[in-house]
Chain A
Amino acid sequence: MAVNNHDEEILAKNNIIVTTFEKLWNWGRSRSFWPLSYGCNCCPIEMMASGAARFDIARYGYEVFRAASRQADVLVVAGPITAKMKPAVERVWAQMAEPKWVVAMGNCAVSGGPFVDGYSVLPGADTIFHVDVYIPGCPVRPEAPFQGLLELKKKVEKQ
């Protein structure tokens, strides 16, 4: 039996919530990302700052930074990807379990940033994998990852 919006409202008044399993699943996922603590330049320092006392990423439920790739579901690419780092990043990305997302944090990860002219720097993380959210800034302010992860939350909820 199909339930339309009007019926859902009536049911909600009687403390019954109708939803699909995927919605519930995504609702949980999008509110507790486990980012992988990876980064190789200035942006990770700001990411650390966003996890620390003043900014406190735990307010949004994203504070569980994992050091092991198999436990994480968001790869926050903070900093430039160099030719030498590329195989390591690809390997870490392959090790992460589905579902997984990529957030490009900072200009270096978005487009290569100021170092794009360097012979060893890739022009952005999207040359390797599909990037879900771009957070520009050089370096990114600690508030910006919050917005980025909240944008990712919206995206995941719609999946």
Chain B
Amino acid sequence: MLQTDQYNINIGPIHPSTHGGLHVEAVMDGETIVDAIVHVGYVHRAVEKIAESRTYTQFIPYASRLDYLASHLPTMGYVQTVEKMLDIHVPERAEYIRIIMGEFSRIASHILFVGSLAIDLGATTGFTYCMRDREKILDLFEMTSGQRMIASYMRFGGFAEDLPEEFIPAARNFLKNIPQMFDEYNHLLSGNEILQARLKNIGVLSAEDAINYGITGPNLRASGVDYDLRKAEPYGIYDRFAFDVPLGEKGDNYDRFMVRLQEIEQSGRIITQALDQLPEGEIRAKIPRIVKPEKGLEVYHRIESAKGELGYYIVSDGGEKPYRLHVRAPSFINLMVLPLISRGGKLQDIIANIATLDPVLGEADR
């Protein structure tokens, strides 16, 4: 076989398919990838350090800006961590609203995943359809908090305000349209021959490798490992809802795509149940104005965010500000598997691999 010199191709950091500031250095032999070196840190905003100079309450908007595609989920993780430190009991109604907002965020994130995957593979129409559906969820967020994308709606012990009257009919209306939405996606994307050719049997991640690399979330479940924190270690009131954990078989790009599509459906199921059971009552527990956890308290709390296991580790020194705040960012850990699944593939597969790993760089770089 003809031997050629190896050469490097830089993908990013300024390129639309890298989902922000990711830089992948592809070592190529002809058209085949020998290695892919991932450089992160282009969006490193020093969030963990900033946290040390903010009070606990002031950090809520920063938590929302970690994973801006599903902004309620990282906020929920942070808020629940502090509640765990202070031992606050959240009112029933607030718990239900948290589930509703969190699952809507997950749907919004997964819809954007489908859209950005489509546009990365060159299907602009798929992107337009997905953004149209995502707007409907953003409308719901805007109704509740006034912000479209990064709502910062949660507070310690509940919510800033109650749901407006028009929220529940609008939410039900969105859920009613999910099957129709899926019809369109299936016609446009999942049943599309080109998309299947670009995704099937590419970027295969075995279950063993996934576990060894610490992959979590939909990427892990696409490899066939039945692990979802909402089932395995229910936080909040997730144990009250019936839902399935969609699993893939091979762990290739197509499985990662399909698992996320099915998760949209399951999230829809959870929201429907939560809306049916939604009780009346308080939406915010009574908590001290200034949050001061005890000295020497260390808490780790994890939730199943849209990207995987999102954990917060907070150390308190008894003051108004955290002594140390660490974020276990699933996007960062999921990205580390990119060289493994890209090796031996073609250059264009890297784009699909990044897209299906679905990293959000704000969270990966923190």
Contacts and interface: CB of A to CB of B under 8 A. Distances in A.
Interface of A: 36-42, 44-46, 48-49, 52-54, 65, 67, 69, 79-80, 82, 84-85, 88-89, 92, 114-115, 117-121, 138-139, 141
A interface, by DSSP: helix, strand, loop or mixed? loop
Contacts of B53: 117
Given A42-B65, A46-B148, A53-B129, 17 more contacts: A40-B21, A41-B361, A42-B68, A42-B149, A45-B149, A48-B127, A49-B131, A69-B14, A79-B43, A82-B44, A85-B21, A88-B21, A114-B65, A115-B47, A117-B46, A117-B53, A118-B45
Nearest to B127: A52
A3 B149 CA distance: 53
B13 A119 contact: no
A48 B131 contact: yes
15 contacts: A38-B14, A40-B13, A41-B45, A41-B65, A41-B361, A45-B149, A69-B14, A82-B43, A82-B45, A88-B21, A115-B45, A117-B53, A120-B45, A120-B46, A139-B149
Most A Cβ at <10 Å: residue of B46, B53, B361: B46
A57 B132 CA distance: 14
Contact of B20 (A36, A40, A114, A138): A40
B interface, by DSSP: helix, strand, loop or mixed? helix
B104 to A, nearest CB: 16
Interface string B1-40: 0000000000001111100110000000000000000000
B13 A85 contact: yes
Nearest to A44: B20
B362 interface: yes
A46 B148 CA distance: 9
Contacts of A89: 14
A60 to B, nearest CB: 17
Given A54-B135, A88-B13, A39 B41 contact: no
A84 B20 contact: no
A4 to B, nearest CB: 49
Nearest to A115: B45
A10 to B, nearest CB: 48
Contacts of B148: 46, 139, 141
B44 A41 contact: no
A120 B44 contact: yes
A96 to B, nearest CB: 11
B50 interface: yes
B128 interface: yes
B62 A114 contact: yes
